[in-house]
Homo-oligomer: A and B are copies of this chain.
């Protein structure tokens, strides 16, 4: 029962923000606003790019390409690129495990 109140604190953060500073105009409020703004801006850009990608696929289809095959092709190219990178990672892991 007596599990010490631990006021306004959870395990997710090193030093939870002070509630007072979160009031309008407080320092924490300013930082929060900045963070939200940046995230929303970045998500906007990300969505725009997603739209662009869709449009390219659209164009591909109009040009007579089979998008299913096209997606498969791009996926394979992506994986092959990733595999080289992963190979290096594995090498590192092995080196580490062998104490090199």
Residues of A in contact with B (beta carbons under 8 Å apart): 6-10, 12-19, 28, 31-32, 35-36, 38-40, 42-43, 45-46, 49-50, 52-53, 56-57, 59-70, 72-74, 76-78, 90, 93-94, 96-99
A96 touches B10 (CB 8 A): yes
Number of copies of chain A assembled together: 4
The secondary structure that dominates the A interface is helix
Complex-state Cα separation, A57 to B39, whole angstroms:
8
Q: Which residues of B contact A64 (CB under 8 A)?
A: 13-18, 28
**A35-B60, A42-B52, A90-B72 known; A12+B66 contact, CB < 8 A:** yes
Q: Which residues of B contact A40 (CB under 8 A)?
A: 74, 77-78
Q: Which residues of B contact A8 (CB under 8 A)?
A: 98-99
Complex-state Cα separation, A96 to B10, whole angstroms:
8
Q: Which residues of B contact A45 (CB under 8 A)?
A: 49
